[in-house]
A and B are shown apart, each in its own frame.
Chain A
């Protein structure tokens, strides 16, 4: 017994000391990969490369905010970064809020409009990849193609930067914490040259295109390079970036577009369905797109449709196409409903009490309005087949889809239709897979038309605008040869507005054309649909939803750099003409 008493403590001590480990601190990360592992494994290098495509910001991810920041859409409720862009109140002090959550400067989740941080973070990722590839000994079967794709992505990122800020610092090497760079802005021209250089270096190692059902569809292609060059040169020649109206620049823009005119693309016969196609669907118009899958989808309908579909409601679902946009569509006879002075063109046949009748078919494909029948299967129980947006004269009764019913139905009394699924379920658990078009043939036609017009070749300009207008299923009459000069330019501008609506062009187009001082100082209109409940007659009128008069000055055409960024790097100058 005594022996046990003496042994017991020894046993305890031995047990305790055995439970101690010498190497207890040797723990490697359980949920992360160490860097060495990445660059020695072809599968992981591919995965790193795949992620670089995340730099391609698409319109679905921030609920097509570009549209809300223009005269295309009006958001009844406050939205998205304090409405700085809707109200033109962005300044160097608040613009950074759009790139990141307030207080979390390095957040990369948004990076949509103020994309400075986002773009340069991806720039570094791409530069890391290119540096690693220059020294790697890992056997990669598609190495040349992967490098070329990375260069295209870098060029596209630079385009995203220069359309926002003008000239920006060109960074083509990798910096570390202990070897930070000091940066200053390169000129806009230098940036354009850099984009062109990246694109030209990428071209030889890329296939011209992938078939729309190819597993690689969505990767950078030679045609995507050419399309990017076309847009870049078009911007470079535009008044904002070329105040001297350098004809050579327009020539470059025309040449770049021309290179794609006969590359085997064709306008898709159904304008509405084009924006419902997903990667893998047969189509021959989209040159380069971002794809989605069932496990990696987007949810744009929940952000843009209204209460009829039980959409998220509130901040996003209350966005509707403006009356300003609706007015910009021609009549089916090819005549514009409004004269330049804002009065109704009596020759057009436009009836303001029936604004949807006899219009450009693209209007019906783009905008839901009172009386529209759309994806009835997905609507909530009790919804009538056709949209009912009316309100009675005394305001006490109203249609199922009226703004009176809920503030989440857009006050414009219109709803987005383009990009929205006309069939299939619409709810937050159903991922949408229709693709986001970055470049498509219609844009190339319009780029070409615009450049040719500025070069004085009105006939070619008219020809290519008319190609867009005569798309099967649209079949608008061409612009008459009698329309010339400034009037023709306005028609080209208008065609671009209508054809490319909601695709993220308008915000930048009005700025590069120099017409933002007009469009951004305009009143934003919606529709009132008043119904006499006894006669059933509906009366249309327009209602001012937002008066932006005086809010936009020319210097706001380019975004300011966040004030803190200027302090961090005094060599970077503020965007031209911004105060201070």
Chain B
């Protein structure tokens, strides 16, 4: 690093810290300052002529932009006053100010700068544009690139945006932030939210999960979800062929998560505390005892059985006259905790000298239970130490070590399904306060008596890096990294006999009933180890004036292993000591299990970049991946990509077009692989198990579960992207448009649909037989402006992706309307519904299945054979994967106030709610009022909009319950106030901000209104996502 650049760096650091104060956002600090590729904007010079006037001083100067063009209209004010002027057409200004004043230079679209007037009488200032997408330095695979020379389809979200979301699981905050990234939360169980991430929709029959790389190592959703959002510098998504640098695992896209480095300079401290109040977003309104009894009576009448409850009994449920024998229990109401607290605390220290930079971070999050008795709890402690040290002018080494310590507990058998489906005619709490058993003696209120499940999961990730600038060869750098991740999980499941009370109408006493289940304990210990070693040699140079060249080659090895052992003991004498050694002593009281697995990758990779005057851009990248998943003779796959860009705005003919700041066209093509299938499918293997008994003694058995496929190979994705990026209207508008087409072939899929079961094969192996095409587009718009004292920005993104099955191994369909081929992935097979059978005449005249009754869903006889059979089902083109996903982020600033509103949603996703279809079944499960309202009964025929109780399925699902899962959600809303002024300076506070935040505050759903629409093709029985209202404070000093 030259002396000049060091000076500039220091200046930049100072300036950016001030802007941190101004915007109160901790993470604006230098993006990747340590990166060799980062450009270093700065000010032109300081005129240090000292004019030590005690009173007023007249300051003059010129304000220029980054290309040294004079800037008109820049406001120059004395900070804290209304005293100010505006620069003229030549960028000049003149202003008389007190000697100790601070001048603020500001223009929309540029970073404001504060400079002390004592610096001189002439202060020339170069304003730097605020970071727009085009100026970002973007993390790409194995390096960084400036967005302006980027040729791939890559989106990025900054860490600070993620901190707006107050859910403990950071993955939930990605929804809607990155065009093309689909994140659906399938449940809200604290600490084990089931998050489904796909990029550009589904494009394979198999695993659609993207590769998640944290600090250069594939670390999966587990690590991503437990990251401290304050530690995240940025998240980049590689969506197109440029992901080929990740080879065999890149076909579903790659999520690159980068954690923050330490910042140079004096130590800065950042402290934040957020207190939140959580509630489930939506709990379905379930039937009360009277309605429930009426519905079951209807079922019984259809079955020819005597009523479940008499009219007199139903009246008692309704009027509540006998709460002991005829209670009306709202199980959700009695079982759920309202306003459960959630707390989050973060403390960071960052700083360093020229030679050493460090970041120390600690975070804790605790999430309480939305159930009474706290069966679900989650605590997470994050710690991270990152140090980068320049050992010499050539060698820099670093370590990034993070530990996450989590504790999660859950109840034995208490969840939303046991709560919502519980029979409302059963008592929960007797009027005297005693607890009743509930359905199957499984009342959620007994959860603290039944035992517990606990997980202590402590992943530790470590990364050690070294970067060596080869002496005497300018631009040649050798990078190496070694990563060792260790995750230990300890699990304890403890169940013990519990008791409850039952009112005995004969004796008028409350009998204490104890379950006979024995005391049982299972301890399980899991250990995962991932090691990854990476060596890269990179070279950058400029030939002549215009030919910029960069090249990188590297090698990488990864090894994963996993072992577990578990032990079970039953029939403990007492539940007081849940330790494994204290269980019963008979042979059947013991149990144990264990397993191990291992896998590895060996990879070679490279990238070559060329650009001419930063105008014509070219990139080639490749990876050769060897994986233990595939047989020796088919082990290595080669995955190349090429991309090109044309920065039209650099052309002379574009110079007169004033409203265009930058304009770039880009195209990319790449071949990527997907290997997310079971290991060793190329070998015929045998498992131990299926033991048998001879003469009363167990003998061992072995069996093969999967047939071998010796020819198994990679799934290949060929991706073609075209894109346009532009910055317009004096940088007030950023536009990014991408269209893409993906051809996925060799999709690993079981050929189970054309292979006769009579062959007797065990589970079939995956074979490279499927083909799916996906195409779509992404649009990302950002507008920023300042009106009066209000500055605002609006970012909108929408992505469309549609898949089409080109080939799958399906049963030769009897009718064209049953072909999956040509339809989107995930399309289901349904009977076509056509209302409800209302009259006997209607039933008699329509084809129907034998057991159909009045009140059942009428289905169409699609093949017109006069019978309803499986041949009358059709494949819908409506898939549960949304065609459109979108996000809209609005932020406003007015003086010290800032407001952020973030909306997110999806459209054209269709889910079959088979659970809400189930209604009035003999198993006495409760159902939502939604399903009961206006159902068909013998007294409500014509106007019925829902089928009868215990309705009959004609042999499979009907599209009657196929719902449009379109929704828009106010995912985050945050209002903050930043304190500034002399007082803050006096107490050495660089920034103090307080805020109130709402997460998942409002949801609008098109059709699914009885439950949270994001639970998608799951059911209303899942733990819903949480609505969180938080209050927080952020302090920097």
State whether B600 touches A27 (Cβ < 8 A).
yes
State whether B505 touches A21 (Cβ < 8 A).
no
Is B757 in the interface zone, CB < 8 Å from A?
yes
Binds B, one of A11-19, A439-447, A457-465, A479-487: A11-19
Is B373 in the interface zone, CB < 8 Å from A?
no
Is A40 in the interface zone, CB < 8 Å from B?
no
- Residue in contact with A380 in the complex, picked from B310, B423, B515, B761, CB distance below 8 Å: B515
State whether B468 touches A19 (Cβ < 8 A).
no
State whether A106 touches B763 (Cβ < 8 A).
yes
State whether A38 touches B923 (Cβ < 8 A).
no
| Identity of the chain A residue whose Cβ is nearest the Cβ of B499 in the assembled complex | A381
- Residue in contact with A20 in the complex, picked from B392, B397, B423, B555, CB distance below 8 Å: B555
Is A569 in the interface zone, CB < 8 Å from B?
yes
| Residues of chain A within 8 A of B761, CB atoms compared | 121, 124, 175, 177
Give the interface size class of chain B.
Answer: 35 or more
CA distance A380 to B921 in the complex (A): 29
- Residue in contact with A310 in the complex, picked from B517, B601, B679, B813, CB distance below 8 Å: B517
Is A500 in the interface zone, CB < 8 Å from B?
no
CB contact under 8 A between A93 and B692, given known A76-B922, A215-B697: no
State whether B764 touches A33 (Cβ < 8 A).
no
CA distance A239 to B628 in the complex (A): 59
State whether A568 touches B756 (Cβ < 8 A).
yes
CB contact under 8 A between A106 and B764, given known A30-B598, A218-B695, A310-B515: yes
* Residues 902-937 of chain B, each 1 if its beta carbon lies under 8 Å from chain A, else 0: 000000000000000000011110000000000000
Q: How many A residues touch B, CB cutoff 8 Å?
A: 119
Chain A, 359-415, CB within 8 A of any chain B CB: 378, 380-382, 395-398, 405, 407-408
CB contact under 8 A between A568 and B392, given known A17-B535, A291-B696: no
Is B940 in the interface zone, CB < 8 Å from A?
no
- Residue in contact with B440 in the complex, picked from A117, A309, A408, CB distance below 8 Å: A408
State whether B518 touches A427 (Cβ < 8 A).
yes
Binds B, one of A44-52, A194-202, A229-237, A262-270: A44-52
| Residues of chain B within 8 A of A124, CB atoms compared | 759-762
State whether A564 touches B753 (Cβ < 8 A).
yes
Is B22 in the interface zone, CB < 8 Å from A?
no
| Identity of the chain B residue whose Cβ is nearest the Cβ of A289 in the assembled complex | B693
**CB of B427 to closest CB in A, whole Å:** 12
| Residues of chain A within 8 A of B39, CB atoms compared | none
State whether B758 touches A120 (Cβ < 8 A).
yes
- Residue in contact with B701 in the complex, picked from A54, A120, A177, CB distance below 8 Å: A54
State whether B698 touches A295 (Cβ < 8 A).
yes
CB contact under 8 A between A396 and B517, given known A120-B760, A291-B696: no
Is A280 in the interface zone, CB < 8 Å from B?
yes
State whether B557 touches A31 (Cβ < 8 A).
no
State whether B304 touches A48 (Cβ < 8 A).
no
CB contact under 8 A between A175 and B760, given known A91-B955, A396-B505, A567-B811: yes
Is A294 in the interface zone, CB < 8 Å from B?
yes
| Identity of the chain B residue whose Cβ is nearest the Cβ of A49 in the assembled complex | B701
**CB of A362 to closest CB in B, whole Å:** 26
| Identity of the chain B residue whose Cβ is nearest the Cβ of A107 in the assembled complex | B763
CA distance A217 to B763 in the complex (A): 32
**CB of B139 to closest CB in A, whole Å:** 22
Chain B, 467-522, CB within 8 A of any chain A CB: 468, 478, 480, 482, 502, 505-506, 511-518, 520
| Identity of the chain B residue whose Cβ is nearest the Cβ of A562 in the assembled complex | B757
| Residues of chain B within 8 A of A33, CB atoms compared | 685-688, 702
**CB of A369 to closest CB in B, whole Å:** 20
State whether B956 touches A544 (Cβ < 8 A).
no
**CB of B14 to closest CB in A, whole Å:** 30
**CB of A228 to closest CB in B, whole Å:** 18
- Residue in contact with B588 in the complex, picked from A175, A295, A381, CB distance below 8 Å: A295
Is A344 in the interface zone, CB < 8 Å from B?
no
Is A429 in the interface zone, CB < 8 Å from B?
yes
Is B602 in the interface zone, CB < 8 Å from A?
yes
CA distance A182 to B514 in the complex (A): 58
State whether A216 touches B440 (Cβ < 8 A).
no
CA distance A227 to B182 in the complex (A): 61
CA distance A211 to B587 in the complex (A): 25
- Residue in contact with B597 in the complex, picked from A30, A38, A122, CB distance below 8 Å: A30
State whether A25 touches B696 (Cβ < 8 A).
no
| Identity of the chain B residue whose Cβ is nearest the Cβ of A378 in the assembled complex | B516
CA distance A428 to B589 in the complex (A): 12
Is B840 in the interface zone, CB < 8 Å from A?
no
Binds B, one of A136-144, A332-340, A545-553: A545-553
Is A247 in the interface zone, CB < 8 Å from B?
no
CA distance A309 to B441 in the complex (A): 13
**CB of B813 to closest CB in A, whole Å:** 7
- Residue in contact with A27 in the complex, picked from B313, B502, B598, CB distance below 8 Å: B598
CA distance A100 to B586 in the complex (A): 35
State whether A54 touches B690 (Cβ < 8 A).
yes
Is A537 in the interface zone, CB < 8 Å from B?
no
Is B72 in the interface zone, CB < 8 Å from A?
no
CB contact under 8 A between A568 and B753, given known A20-B557, A290-B693: yes
State whether B691 touches A296 (Cβ < 8 A).
yes
State whether B695 touches A280 (Cβ < 8 A).
yes
* Residues 765-777 of chain B, each 1 if its beta carbon lies under 8 Å from chain A, else 0: 1000000000000
State whether A565 touches B752 (Cβ < 8 A).
no
CA distance A12 to B394 in the complex (A): 13
State whether A38 touches B686 (Cβ < 8 A).
yes
Is A164 in the interface zone, CB < 8 Å from B?
no
| Residues of chain A within 8 A of B555, CB atoms compared | 20
- Residue in contact with A116 in the complex, picked from B303, B518, B602, B757, CB distance below 8 Å: B757
CA distance A177 to B764 in the complex (A): 9
- Residue in contact with A279 in the complex, picked from B515, B635, B693, CB distance below 8 Å: B693
State whether A381 touches B595 (Cβ < 8 A).
no
State whether B588 touches A294 (Cβ < 8 A).
yes
* Residues 536-580 of chain A, each 1 if its beta carbon lies under 8 Å from chain B, else 0: 000000011111000100000000000111011110100000011
Among B635, B849, B850, the one with the most A-chain Cβ atoms within 10 Å of its Cβ is B850
Is B52 in the interface zone, CB < 8 Å from A?
no
| Residues of chain A within 8 A of B701, CB atoms compared | 47-48, 50-51, 54
State whether B303 touches A314 (Cβ < 8 A).
no
CA distance A108 to B397 in the complex (A): 55
**CB of A375 to closest CB in B, whole Å:** 12
CA distance A428 to B870 in the complex (A): 40
Is B431 in the interface zone, CB < 8 Å from A?
no
CB contact under 8 A between A279 and B696, given known A20-B555, A29-B680, A32-B686: yes
- Residue in contact with B923 in the complex, picked from A21, A47, A93, A314, CB distance below 8 Å: A314
| Identity of the chain A residue whose Cβ is nearest the Cβ of B520 in the assembled complex | A429
- Residue in contact with B514 in the complex, picked from A35, A295, A313, A380, CB distance below 8 Å: A380
State whether B759 touches A175 (Cβ < 8 A).
yes
**CB of A194 to closest CB in B, whole Å:** 14
| Residues of chain A within 8 A of B757, CB atoms compared | 116-117, 120-121, 565, 568
12 contacts between A and B (CB under 8 A): A8-B392, A25-B626, A34-B683, A44-B702, A53-B692, A77-B924, A215-B695, A314-B440, A546-B305, A547-B303, A547-B304, A568-B757
Instruction: Name B's A-contacting residues (CB within 8 A).
Output: 303-306, 310, 313, 325, 391-392, 394-395, 397, 423, 440-441, 466, 468, 478, 480, 482, 502, 505-506, 511-518, 520, 531, 533, 535, 555, 557, 559, 570-571, 586-589, 595-602, 626-628, 635, 679-680, 683-688, 690-704, 707-709, 750-765, 811-814, 849-851, 867, 869-871, 921-924, 952, 955-956
- The list of the 10 closest CB pairs from A to B, nearest first, reads A124-B760, A51-B701, A93-B870, A547-B304, A310-B516, A32-B685, A569-B756, A35-B684, A215-B695, A291-B693
Instruction: Name A's B-contacting residues (CB within 8 A).
Output: 5, 8-9, 12-13, 16-17, 19-21, 24-25, 27, 29-35, 38, 44, 46-48, 50-51, 53-54, 76-78, 83, 87, 89, 91-94, 105-106, 108, 116-117, 120-125, 127, 169, 171, 175, 177, 180-183, 210, 213-219, 278-280, 290-297, 309-310, 313-315, 378, 380-382, 395-398, 405, 407-408, 426-431, 433, 523, 533, 543-547, 551, 563-565, 567-570, 572, 579-580
